[in-house]
Every structure is written in C-alpha cells, then in structure tokens.
Structure 1
Amino acid sequence: MADLRAEFGGADIAGWGVGPVLEKFRKVSRIAVLRGGGLGDLLFALPAVSALVAAYPGATVTMLGTPVHADLLGGTLGPVRDVRVLPIAEGLRPGREDPAAIDAFLASMRDEEFDLAVQLHGGGRYSNPFLLRLGARHTVGTRTADAAPLERSVPYAYYQHEPLRGLEVAGLAGAPPVGLEAKLRPQDRHQSKVREFLRRLRDGPATPVVAVHPGAMDPRRRWPAVKFGEVAAACAADGCRVVVLGTADERQLADEVVTAAGSDRVISLAGTLSLGALAALLDSCAVLLGNDSGPRHLAQAVGTPTVGLYWVGNLINAGPLGRSLHRVHLSWVTRCPQCGADLTQVGWTAPRCEHDSSLLAGISPADVYADVRLFTARTPLAHGR
C-alpha cells in the first residue's frame, strides 16, 4: 500500500472503482478536461466527466476538445456544456500548427485559473506538456514512460477499454464511477423536426426505422458496402425503412450501400444532418448497424440498440459492455491480408503498413441480419420501451 501511495503522489486511497479512488482535492471549483480526437473519442470520455461532476458538484467543468465535440455537446443534453475548441497542435488536433495561436489559447485558459486539469487524451507524450501549460493547481491523467509527469497518473497501455480508462483517471481525482457508459439526450428542437421527418418516411407509426452507418475513419474497419446493402435489402423486404448515415465525405460510400440494396425503402441521409439532429434521429430508430465508429457510439449513448462490426483489437478498446442491447460481430484477422504485417502491434509500438484492405470482409451478412432482426421484430428488447 505504501508503494501505491508513492506512485499516486502520496495520496490516500479512499476506495476502489475501475482502479483506486484517491482522496479528493480540496477547494476545486474549476475543472478542465482535455480530450481531442473525433466523435467516439468524446463519448469515451463522458463517463469520466460524469464522475467528476458528481464528485465535485459545485465545480464548473470545461471540455477542451475539437469542433466536432463542440457541435455534439451544443446539440444534445449531457454532463458538460462548456466546450473550448483546441488550437491545431501536434498530437491533439491535426493540421498546420500556429505557435502563436497555441500560446494565445493557453494564455486564455490560464486566465480561467483551473483548480484541476484532467488528461484523457492518450499516453501524454503531447497531451501532458499541453495540460501542464494550463497552470492548474492539480493534474491527473495517463502517462507513458516518455511522457511528462503529472501530479497523479496511471500507466498508459494501449489495449484498455477507453471509457474504463477514463474512469480510472477520474478515480485519481477522487471521483468514483456513476456510470460505465456515455449518456446523452437529444434536444427538443431536434426531436420535433426528426419526428416530422419520420412521420413522412414511415408507412405507419409502427414501421421500424433501421439506421446504417458504413463509414469509419480507418478504412480497414469498414465492412464492405455491398454487404451493408445486402442487410439493408433484407430489412427493407421485412417492411422496415432504412436510412444510411454519414458525413459529407461519406456520401459516395452511402450511395454504394443504397445502390447495393436496390430498394426504394433504403435512402441516404449522408451529409444532411447536424450532430444534434443525428442524435435525435438515432434516438427514434429501432437499431443502428455500423462499424466501430462515432455514430455507433452515439446511438449507444442515446439508448438505441446497435449491431456493431469490429476488428477484435478494436473491440477491446471500444466495444459495448453489454449484449442485451448491443450485439457485436468480430473479425479475428490479426495479419494484413496483403502483406502479412502483424496488426496487433498498434499505437506507438509498431509502424502501420500501407494497406487499407477491409479486415471485416469475412463477417457474414446473414449472421449480421439475424441480430438486426432482433431489434426490428418489435420485441421488448428494442430501446427497452
């Protein structure tokens, strides 16, 4: 126990959550949470944010994130409302850096006089020095061996479920879990518009709507569009309406799914929805079928059942914890189909090979459809409603 106390900066261990829950910091009224990345990355961080809000009920929590984070949190109801968009900075937000913009951002954040800064962005090689420049009285986060030390930290290992990793970090600040998964609610202004759209789309109030998201940031995590189309066609034949989702950059991919489905009951909404509207739409769907991607995580956060398609390594880091509402189909491929490179050596431990072949191509459409059918056949499981 003495060794553990030394590792956590001499703090007493007050209890256990995902990891040790240490004693709370005193007089904390301003908290900053650092998390860059995409939509899924934000949703992975929200359970930790909820824990911090509960542990420090009088404190203001400020999320330091990306434009997509600001869009989602501005269009939904959740545990944090104050979002500041990070400048482009290496390891935090990709693009061409402007050192003056970084300095100006950090100076404005120091004016906030944060009492606690929480690092939920990777192993800390880039994020820990950035966090320390906020000037907070206390700092907690994850840390690789080459990262700058924080007041309290836990070792970063790539293969760990991301929401649970965040909860382990929250425990360093004395914040035990209040939930294991992100929870968001759509805003009424988006729900009213979505209800009207679905009223016109459906044949009647009982018509199930199936959402399909064929995209993923890493092309290797994408199930082939023709297979999505095969499942969409089967759902359409069952009497469902199918909406294919995606960003403006994913319109061509969504169109490929619609073409493969060959049914006028399957339409594309790619590039037409704000994130607030997307959350409201997903809340009204019977199920979302998708790869390991932001929309699948968002569907889970609003309480919609999902059928997820995962490479096995990604399931460890980003898979749903339960199976009553969230089914998964796995690819067990561990080597690149083209060059044989070991795909299990990820993160900073090995370079990525140049090939983008789908690792999910071997997953059976018939098996996937069987799970989608669980949530479209009007069973008590769908939405638990």
Structure 2
Amino acid sequence: MSVPASICLLRTSAIGDVTHVVPLLRTLQAAWPQTQLTWVVGKLERRLVGDLPGVEFVTFDKAAGRAGMRAIWTALRGRRFDALLQMQVALRSNLLSLGIKADRRIGYDAARAKDLHGLVVNERIPARTGEHVLDAIGSFCEPLGLRQTGVRWDIPIPDEAHAWAAEQLPGDTPTLLVSPSSSHALRNWRPERYAAVMDHATMRGWRVALVGGPSASERAMADAVLATCSHAPLDLTGKDTLKKLLALLSRAQLLLTPDSGPMHMANAVGTKVLGLHAASNPNRSGPYSDRRWCVDKYDEAARRFLGKPAGELAWGTKIEKPGVMDLIGVEDVVERFEAAASHLGLI
C-alpha cells in the first residue's frame, strides 16, 4: 500500500457532520503521520476544529457565494493532491470540488450520491446501508487501503474556555444542559415540554442550564422555554462560543437536545446525551457512542406520517413533518432522564 503524500478532505458543514470527520482525520494521522492533510471547512465550523494539530485548514465562506468558491480555488491554485475525499454531496460542495485538483477523487456510493456527485468523483466508498453517519464518513479511508477501527476526537479546548465554563458551572453539582434548538425547526420540541423536564431535573437536585447560539430563532426558543419554567435555569444562550460550549459540555453530566450539532459535540467529549428523535433515526444520526438515553419515536413517526414501519424506509429518511416531535411526551423524556441519572449514580 503506497502512502499518499497529500490528501484533501472536503466537508464544509454542518457542525455535527464536521465533528464526525475528526475520527477519520485521526485515523489518517495515525496511519500516515507524514501525509499532508488539508481540510476545506466552513467558516463557522473552523471555529470548532480549526486548531486540530497537524492539519492545514482552508476556510470556505458559503455566504460569499461564487466569490467564496473562487477564494478556495485561488488558495489551492497550482496544487494537486494524491486524493480528494469529497464527503459532502450538496450541489454547492460538488461544484466547489471542481476547483480542487486530485488524482483520486473519492465520493459516496451511488445510493448516497445526489446533485451530480457522481460527475465530480472517480472512485466511491463501499456501498452499505444501515450505517451511522460517522461510520459512513470513516469509510472514506477504505479506498486508500485503511480501515477506521477506533474512534477518537480529542478536539482541543483552550484553557480560557475551561476557565469560563468553570465560572458558569462551579463545583460538582450534577448538571443538565439543555440545547433546545436544531437548525431544522421541525426537529424542535415544544418549549413548555422542555420546561417541564427542566423543572423535574431541578426538583431532583440537578443544576440546569440553557444553552444555544446567538441567532434570533435560538433566543426566541430560549425565551419561550424560560417563560414556562417554574424554576429559573441558568441562561447561557448566546453567551458561549463553540469552544466554550465544548467546555460546558465537558463539565455537564447530561445534555438534552434534539438532533443537532451540540448532540455530537457532547458525544465527542464523553457527555451523555438525552436525544429527542422522531424526525430522524437515532441509529443513523444519534449520539454515536451511546444512544441508551435517547427517546426514539422514529418508528412511530414513520407509521403515523409515512404509513409504513421505519424498517421499510430508505436509510436516512427524514420525517420532518409538522407535529412529528409531539410524539415525544414529557413522561418519555423524564423516564430517560431518571434512567441516565440512576446509571450515573446521581439520584
């Protein structure tokens, strides 16, 4: 097996999927420490992973449109990689990849390809179904002759982020973080239901903190949750950065969230996740390491909204329908909270 001199990884977004790329990166580094690794990554996502050692990062600003693409092509002009791992099938990413020169252009198998993906690659990963997204991304090393047999993140967290998190969450009180918003609005749960679970956790002696980004939609969701809480949680919405959120997660025992980027960030630092799944399949996109504490209503959603069991759906089918998350009741989440807390020895 020849060792490639250079590999370009193309996965620009989103936060969760970029988190899934890190174990692949670690696999490549462990096998071929001398190989030059270049990662074309999104502007926001670079704030999470851009300090990984031994990697050259090239930032793609998708908000800049065609100018953003030209900036990538200019930055890589005159270079040719031994392999391009084209790990994103969206039309924008497929077009972006055209300006990246590589001898081997490895992409998804035909079943998972779309938006002209097959026209920009000359090799494909093994065709499989039933895989978690992280395992699918990990399989991009297989055409190169490797196998991803272990999963390691070790995303750096700056000392100042740890210090800030310790100020917000001092001591060793068991902590439930609640990140209520997904970028896909139809994956979100009702604010009053979050509030009911948060009140329950408070009554059980847990510290509860609400987290989220600075966007108007996340602020509105946080305000709606706060308005129906009987016991006011710590509100950190819009106050953290991605690195600070990693630090907060590393101090918490449990994260309550829908299918979202913070779910996978929590998993990467070893924090248990109480994930809310009805619109998406937790076996495909839930917390990779441990899905025991998730609420899984995906099969019920498939039967209710699509008229067939989940086992008959194409792998990766999203059921983002109005009302789908209402299939998850407060009692379902409280039961998983109690189970997780008991497992952790914190009740």
TM-score range, shorter chain: 0.7 to 0.9
Partner of 2:221: 253
1:360 equivalenced with 2:325 (yes/no):
yes
TM-fit CA distance, 1:196: 2.2
Q: Do the aligned partners of 1:255 and 1:268 also contact (CA within 8 Å) in 2?
A: no
Q: Do the aligned partners of 1:310 and 1:330 also contact (CA within 8 Å) in 2?
A: yes
Partner of 1:216: 182
TM-fit CA distance, 1:257: 1.6
Match of 1:292 among 259, 269, 273: 259
1:82 equivalenced with 2:47 (yes/no):
no
Partner of 1:236: 202
TM-fit CA distance, 1:242: 0.7
Q: Deviations over 1:227-286 (max 9, x none)?
A: 11111000111121111111122011012222222213x122111101000000000001
Distance 1:229 1:150, change over 3 A: same
Coordinate RMSD, CA, aligned:
3.2
User: TM-score, normalised on structure 2?
Assistant: 0.84
Match of 1:56 among 8, 20, 32: 32
User: TM-score, normalised on structure 1?
Assistant: 0.76
Match of 1:195 among 152, 166, 173: 166
1:371 equivalenced with 2:339 (yes/no):
no
Partner of 2:141: 170
Q: What percentage of residue pairs aligned between the two structures are identical? A: 24
1:131 equivalenced with 2:97 (yes/no):
yes
Q: Which moved more, 1:357-366 or 1:161-170?
A: 357-366
Partner of 1:97: 65
* Number of positions where the alignment pairs a residue of Structure 1 with one of Structure 2: 336
Partner of 2:10: 34
| Richer in helix (by share) | 2
Partner of 1:66: 42
1:153 equivalenced with 2:119 (yes/no):
no
Q: Do the aligned partners of 1:194 and 1:281 also contact (CA within 8 Å) in 2?
A: yes
Partner of 1:329: 295
1:47 equivalenced with 2:23 (yes/no):
yes
**Unaligned residue ranges in structure 1 (runs of 5+):** 1-22, 89-94, 200-204
d(CA) in 2 for partners of 1:297, 1:238: 26
TM-fit CA distance, 1:305: 0.9
Secondary structure of 2:264's aligned partner: helix
d(CA) in 2 for partners of 1:374, 1:102: 48
Q: Deviations over 1:31-69 (max 9, x none)?
A: 210012221120122222222222221123222111121
Partner of 1:267: 234
d(CA) in 2 for partners of 1:149, 1:34: 12
Distance 1:284 1:312, change over 3 A: same
1:278 equivalenced with 2:224 (yes/no):
no
Q: Deviations over 1:178-232 (max 9, x none)?
A: 4246443422221122112222xxxxx3311110011111122112111111110
Q: Do the aligned partners of 2:267 and 2:288 also contact (CA within 8 Å) in 1?
A: no
TM-fit CA distance, 1:378: 8.0
**Unaligned residue ranges in structure 2 (runs of 5+):** none
